[in-house]
Structure 1
Amino acid sequence: MLPVKQKPLTALWLRCTNATWRKQSENKRKRKSVKHKRWCERQRP
């Protein structure tokens, strides 16, 4: 994984697109799907 201090926004964006991380998020989808999606859009490099 890329060092966070190297490219903060890119690291956050990779976290959003990471399959495993996204799979874990599905458990909370009812509560934060739209909010999380919009947050990810802002993190896109």
Structure 2
Amino acid sequence: MGSEEFATALGSVDFDQVVAGAEAVGAFAGLIAALGAFAALLV
């Protein structure tokens, strides 16, 4: 992939969606960590 193609692809990215996706992943990771900590308490 050429640099011009990359710039075009980058320009078409909706950064609001990227940020929302990152926040969703972060929240999901936090939930997994909380469940892991809770499971560790039960063991």
TM-score range relative to shorter protein:
0.3 to 0.5
TM score, norm. by length of structure 2:
0.33
TM score, norm. by length of structure 1:
0.32
Higher helix proportion, which one? 2
